[in-house]
Amino acid sequence: MDTAYSVYREILIWDNKNRRAEIIRQQRKTLARSIALVTLLTSITVAAIFWGTSITPKASSESPRIKYYTTYSVGASESLYNISRDYVSSEYSGVDEYMHEVCLINHIDDASDIKAGDMIVLPYYSSEFKE
Protein backbone atom coordinates (compact mmCIF):
# COMPACT_ATOMS: atom_id res chain seq x y z
CA MET A 1 0.00 0.00 0.00
CA ASP A 2 2.80 2.32 0.81
CA THR A 3 4.42 1.74 -2.60
CA ALA A 4 1.17 2.30 -4.45
CA TYR A 5 0.61 5.54 -2.58
CA SER A 6 4.15 6.73 -3.39
CA VAL A 7 3.67 5.93 -7.06
CA TYR A 8 0.32 7.77 -7.02
CA ARG A 9 1.96 10.80 -5.40
CA GLU A 10 4.78 10.75 -7.96
CA ILE A 11 2.21 10.70 -10.76
CA LEU A 12 0.35 13.64 -9.18
CA ILE A 13 3.61 15.57 -8.78
CA TRP A 14 4.58 14.83 -12.37
CA ASP A 15 1.10 15.93 -13.61
CA ASN A 16 1.33 19.14 -11.58
CA LYS A 17 4.78 19.90 -13.03
CA ASN A 18 3.42 19.37 -16.53
CA ARG A 19 0.39 21.59 -15.83
CA ARG A 20 2.62 24.33 -14.42
CA ALA A 21 4.98 24.08 -17.41
CA GLU A 22 2.00 24.35 -19.79
CA ILE A 23 0.68 27.39 -17.90
CA ILE A 24 4.11 29.04 -18.12
CA ARG A 25 4.27 28.28 -21.89
CA GLN A 26 0.82 29.84 -22.37
CA GLN A 27 1.81 32.90 -20.34
CA ARG A 28 4.97 33.33 -22.39
CA LYS A 29 2.97 33.06 -25.65
CA THR A 30 0.47 35.63 -24.36
CA LEU A 31 3.29 37.95 -23.31
CA ALA A 32 5.01 37.59 -26.69
CA ARG A 33 1.73 38.32 -28.52
CA SER A 34 1.08 41.35 -26.31
CA ILE A 35 4.57 42.73 -26.95
CA ALA A 36 4.16 42.17 -30.68
CA LEU A 37 0.77 43.91 -30.66
CA VAL A 38 2.08 46.90 -28.70
CA THR A 39 5.07 47.17 -31.05
CA LEU A 40 2.80 47.02 -34.08
CA LEU A 41 0.42 49.67 -32.71
CA THR A 42 3.34 51.92 -31.77
CA SER A 43 4.80 51.56 -35.26
CA ILE A 44 1.45 52.39 -36.86
CA THR A 45 1.00 55.43 -34.61
CA VAL A 46 4.49 56.76 -35.33
CA ALA A 47 4.01 56.18 -39.06
CA ALA A 48 0.66 57.99 -38.97
CA ILE A 49 2.19 60.95 -37.15
CA PHE A 50 5.06 61.26 -39.60
CA TRP A 51 2.86 60.62 -42.59
CA GLY A 52 0.43 63.32 -41.47
CA THR A 53 3.16 65.92 -41.05
CA SER A 54 5.43 67.12 -43.76
CA ILE A 55 9.15 67.10 -43.12
CA THR A 56 9.87 69.76 -45.72
CA PRO A 57 8.16 73.10 -45.21
CA LYS A 58 5.54 73.94 -47.78
CA ALA A 59 5.93 77.19 -49.62
CA SER A 60 2.96 79.40 -49.04
CA SER A 61 1.30 80.80 -52.12
CA GLU A 62 0.18 83.80 -50.09
CA SER A 63 2.56 86.50 -49.05
CA PRO A 64 2.41 87.34 -45.36
CA ARG A 65 -0.05 90.01 -44.36
CA ILE A 66 1.21 92.82 -42.15
CA LYS A 67 -0.93 94.76 -39.71
CA TYR A 68 -1.08 98.54 -40.16
CA TYR A 69 -3.09 101.37 -38.66
CA THR A 70 -4.80 104.33 -40.28
CA THR A 71 -6.82 107.29 -39.01
CA TYR A 72 -10.43 107.64 -40.01
CA SER A 73 -12.74 110.63 -39.71
CA VAL A 74 -16.22 109.58 -38.67
CA GLY A 75 -18.85 110.94 -41.03
CA ALA A 76 -22.39 112.03 -40.33
CA SER A 77 -24.79 109.17 -39.55
CA GLU A 78 -21.94 106.60 -39.42
CA SER A 79 -21.78 104.05 -36.63
CA LEU A 80 -18.81 102.05 -35.42
CA TYR A 81 -20.58 98.91 -36.61
CA ASN A 82 -20.90 100.24 -40.19
CA ILE A 83 -17.27 101.37 -40.24
CA SER A 84 -16.13 98.01 -38.83
CA ARG A 85 -18.21 96.12 -41.38
CA ASP A 86 -16.43 98.02 -44.18
CA TYR A 87 -12.91 97.52 -42.77
CA VAL A 88 -13.03 94.00 -41.28
CA SER A 89 -10.78 91.45 -43.00
CA SER A 90 -10.29 87.70 -42.95
CA GLU A 91 -7.83 87.97 -40.04
CA TYR A 92 -10.81 88.58 -37.74
CA SER A 93 -13.51 86.07 -36.90
CA GLY A 94 -16.17 88.67 -37.52
CA VAL A 95 -17.30 92.28 -37.25
CA ASP A 96 -17.71 92.04 -33.46
CA GLU A 97 -14.08 91.03 -32.95
CA TYR A 98 -12.89 93.87 -35.19
CA MET A 99 -15.14 96.37 -33.37
CA HIS A 100 -13.77 95.17 -30.04
CA GLU A 101 -10.20 95.81 -31.22
CA VAL A 102 -11.11 99.26 -32.54
CA CYS A 103 -12.67 100.11 -29.17
CA LEU A 104 -9.53 98.93 -27.34
CA ILE A 105 -7.19 100.91 -29.61
CA ASN A 106 -9.25 104.11 -29.28
CA HIS A 107 -10.16 103.69 -25.57
CA ILE A 108 -13.86 103.66 -26.41
CA ASP A 109 -16.05 102.22 -23.64
CA ASP A 110 -19.30 102.22 -25.61
CA ALA A 111 -19.42 101.83 -29.40
CA SER A 112 -22.27 104.33 -29.60
CA ASP A 113 -20.03 107.08 -28.11
CA ILE A 114 -18.51 108.05 -31.48
CA LYS A 115 -19.97 111.01 -33.35
CA ALA A 116 -19.44 112.83 -36.64
CA GLY A 117 -16.03 114.48 -36.85
CA ASP A 118 -14.29 112.13 -34.39
CA MET A 119 -10.93 110.76 -35.52
CA ILE A 120 -10.42 107.09 -34.78
CA VAL A 121 -7.58 104.67 -35.47
CA LEU A 122 -8.47 101.59 -37.52
CA PRO A 123 -6.30 98.50 -37.95
CA TYR A 124 -5.99 96.87 -41.36
CA TYR A 125 -3.88 94.18 -42.99
CA SER A 126 -1.94 94.40 -46.23
CA SER A 127 0.38 92.09 -48.19
CA GLU A 128 2.36 95.12 -49.26
CA PHE A 129 5.27 96.21 -47.07
CA LYS A 130 5.08 99.91 -46.24
CA GLU A 131 7.87 101.87 -44.66
The one-digit pLDDT tens for each residue of the chain (131 residues) are: 577 778 888 888 888 899 999 999 999 999 999 999 999 999 988 888 877 765 555 555 667 889 999 999 999 989 999 999 999 999 999 999 999 999 999 999 988 889 899 999 999 998 888 77
Per-residue confidence (pLDDT) for residue 104, from 0 to 100 = 93
Per-residue confidence (pLDDT) for residue 2, from 0 to 100 = 76
- CA separation for the pair 83, 92 (Å, rounded): 15
Whether 112 contacts 79, CB under 8 Å = yes
What string of DSSP letters covers the chain?
-HHHHHHHHHHHHHHHHHHHHHHHHHHHHHHHHHHHHHHHHHHHHHHHHHHHS-SSPPPPSSPPPEEEEEEEEPPTT--HHHHHHHH--TTSSSHHHHHHHHHHHHT-SSGGG--TT-EEEEEEEESS---
Per-residue confidence (pLDDT) for residue 5, from 0 to 100 = 75
Per-residue confidence (pLDDT) for residue 29, from 0 to 100 = 94
Per-residue confidence (pLDDT) for residue 8, from 0 to 100 = 82
Whether 89 contacts 125, CB under 8 Å = yes
Per-residue confidence (pLDDT) for residue 11, from 0 to 100 = 85
pTM (two decimals): 0.52
Q: Which of 122, 20, 46 is nearest to 114 (CA)?
A: 122
What is the biggest distance separating any 2 CA atoms in the chain, rounded to whole angstroms?
Answer: 121
